[in-house]
Structure 1
Amino acid sequence: MNQHLPESAESAEPTGAYRRRGPFREGDRVQLTDNRGRLHTITLTPGEEFHTHRGFYRHNDIIGKPEGTNIVTSSGIEYQLMRPLMHDYVLSMPRGAAVVYPKDAAQIVAMADIFPGARVIEAGVGSGALTLSLLQAVGDQGQVHSIERREDFADIARANIEIFFGGPHPSWDLSIGDLADVLPTVAEPGSVDRVVLDMLAPWENIDAVAKALTPGGVLICYVATATQLSRVAEDLREDGRFTEPVAWEQLVRNWHLEGLAVRPQHRMVGHTGFLIMTRRLADGVEAIVRKRRPAKGAYPVDEQWSEEDLGERIPSDKKVRKVRRDVTAHRDELVEHTGEDSGQDDDA
């Protein structure tokens, strides 16, 4: 078990649960909402103060309070106190690579049937947003092995995940390298329940994934463009070891609710990416071929793919270095402060 929790909490609760219930403690992240719906998120540090243009309050006045109470600033403005939910944390956490939005992470967990105790391979890890959802789904008895090509992205993801859970998660392993090279070294053939790919060219890893998946196992890919979606689908069909792939996208539209003024919000979370899912057939079983297929000229040809070709925004090395430095320093600072007070070695 993780050493960042008190022994009583370790033996009784799953990883991270201790940080997400009970009164506010030092090191907790707190989300404050005013009467206009504006949010502030702070990390509780004894002796610190938080100043806004609407007054200030002391962190000591929040520590020990139950979640769901209010605090009044020096100028008399009330703020509601809550711990951020995971989707709040994901949208505000430091990032190098773009994150998988909560709406897509929820679809991946549900549609790929990420169950407690599942053995999951994820590539790449990016900033760790999807990894959080996968770890919550598999629980302490499952296994998520994330594979990331870039060491700087991996460091950012590790810090984000340890801050959220309050320390290392016992079900998580992280490897640096290419999926095709790493996967055979970390998983026996036919031993993986689910594979989740968030990468530029997932079709390049179909063979490695097919060897690792158990019969009936699920492969789900997150891709940004329709051209990637088409290429994945056709290469899966050509491989012959998978069921007919299905694809979809998820659009979210919030609603304005006030009296009789009930209408859609002017803004919505539209296209973020496509999801395509398929399942591993048993060895020696041929896939059922569709009766109608497009013309031969509709199939893609071999070509080199790059992020620029697909219109993806590439974070600069300078930005990634800054995010990496800041988020790991924040994680280490929390570990140092809470470790001294609790006598434990690791906390966030």
Structure 2
Amino acid sequence: MPDPADARSEAPAAPTAGGPASTDVPAEAWSGVHRGPLRAGEWVRLTDQKGRRHNICLEPGKRFFSNRGHFDHDELIGREEGFTVQSSAGGVYLVFRPLLSEFVVSMPRGAAVVYPKDAAQIVAMADIFPGARVVEAGVGSGALTCSLLRAVGPLGRVLSFERREEFADVARRNVTQFFGGTEGQSHPAWELRLGDLAEELPRAGETVDRIILDMLAPWECVDVCSDALVPGGILVAYVATTTQLSRFVETVRAHGGFTDPHAWESLVRDWHVEGLAVRPGHKMMGHTAFLVTARRMAPGEKPPAKKRRPAPGAYGVDYTGPRPLDLPPQVADEPFES
């Protein structure tokens, strides 16, 4: 893998799309965010009175059409975001630049995206920091990649593995669109490789701080991840089902080189607030996936044995998965008591 310092020195600066440089976010920050008047080539998010959203790229001379009439892009270019525009048929649209959390749920998809509520949990609970060396597999449509790149900054490194070329192409376009790179130019801290992490990561010879697995069978990569992670590094899995959750957690426990895995999910519920009418909203973002984190122990070190015994029958005769190394022999023989 090329040295990121070389990539940063060779990569052209992110385009500022005109306007006074002093008002904009520095291009070298690679934030994907702009300040100041809206400019040609930027994406904006239109929201109508019913909450329907449209994302458009501003182009001089072009016109936006909807079932509520039309208006010209030139009416938006040059104005500060946070205004309303009225279409020819009386429709009113709120105009803002899209936030990262808004961009990822509306961008083109090849695979399902990691939703903002889960991406935020990964960035926080995996402690993704500026300058971190991060591996992710697979890249999907690039939603989590954008959050990881925002967190590590141009001095960090994100190495993404994706087995399907069509997904990689979609992710590459989405990441380039968000961070504002020109054709063929992407975030200087990002490298996207086609292939299976279990095969490609050992070949890369990488030593990394964090690994995020968003794949069908993450338990198959635990040994490879163990070899690549620094002591104290964090392994994260993003899995959809309870069977995947169980298999991964028990495989990490049986490996013996990680702390006891921590598993959870996040649920988000809106609230309706109007005067005295304060109640939960009718819509809720419930289960999307389970998250698991575990920290790498130093070579040759083992986590302390758990004092609390497993529940009766947890590892009984019906259980066929991996078993913790310090499991008392008698636990496996105890029948389940209802």
Partner Cα distance (1:297, 1:51) in 2: 64
1:254 to 254, 258, 270: 270
Q: Contact (CA 8 Å) 1:244, 1:278: kept in 2 or not?
A: yes
Paired residue for 2:325?
Answer: none
Letter in 2 for 1:183: L
Q: Contact (CA 8 Å) 2:25, 2:33: kept in 1 or not?
A: no
> Is 1:285 aligned with 2:301?
yes
Q: Contact (CA 8 Å) 1:244, 1:288: kept in 2 or not?
A: no
Tell me the alpha carbon deviations over residues 288-341 of structure 1, each in whole angstroms, 9 at most, x when there is no partner.
232413334353349xxxxxxxxxxxxxxxxxxxxxxxxxxxxxxxxxxxxxxx
| 2:278 match: secondary structure | strand
Q: Contact (CA 8 Å) 2:37, 2:77: kept in 1 or not?
A: yes
Structure 1: tracts of 5 or more residues without a match: 303-348
| 1:120 match: secondary structure | strand
Paired residue for 2:291?
Answer: 275
Letter in 2 for 1:235: T
Q: Contact (CA 8 Å) 2:25, 2:34: kept in 1 or not?
A: no
Partner Cα distance (2:54, 2:218) in 1: 38
Q: Contact (CA 8 Å) 1:203, 1:231: kept in 2 or not?
A: yes
Q: Contact (CA 8 Å) 1:33, 1:39: kept in 2 or not?
A: yes
Using the TM superposition, give the Cα deviation of residue 41 of structure 1 relative to its aligned residue in structure 2, in angstroms.
1.8
Greater relative contact order (CA < 8 Å, ≥ 6 in sequence): 1
Structure showing greater Rg: 2
> Is 1:182 aligned with 2:196?
no
Partner Cα distance (1:38, 1:98) in 2: 21
| 2:103 match: secondary structure | helix
Q: Contact (CA 8 Å) 2:84, 2:94: kept in 1 or not?
A: yes
1:5 to 15, 18, 31: 15
Using the TM superposition, give the Cα deviation of residue 17 of structure 1 relative to its aligned residue in structure 2, in angstroms.
4.0
Paired residue for 1:300?
Answer: 320
Paired residue for 2:331?
Answer: none
Q: Contact (CA 8 Å) 2:261, 2:293: kept in 1 or not?
A: yes
Partner Cα distance (1:50, 1:257) in 2: 33
TM-score under structure 2 normalisation?
Answer: 0.84
Paired residue for 1:263?
Answer: 279
Query: Superposition RMSD on alpha carbons, in Å?
Result: 2.0
Paired residue for 1:328?
Answer: none
Tell me the alpha carbon deviations over residues 178-201 of structure 1, each in whole angstroms, 9 at most, x when there is no partner.
11111123343xx21000000011
Letter in 2 for 1:46: P
1:59-98 aligned at under 5 Å gives the runs 59-98=73-112
Paired residue for 1:140?
Answer: 154
| 2:159 match: secondary structure | strand
Structure having the larger proportion of residues in helix = 1
Structure 2: tracts of 5 or more residues without a match: 1-10, 323-338
| 2:317 match: secondary structure | helix
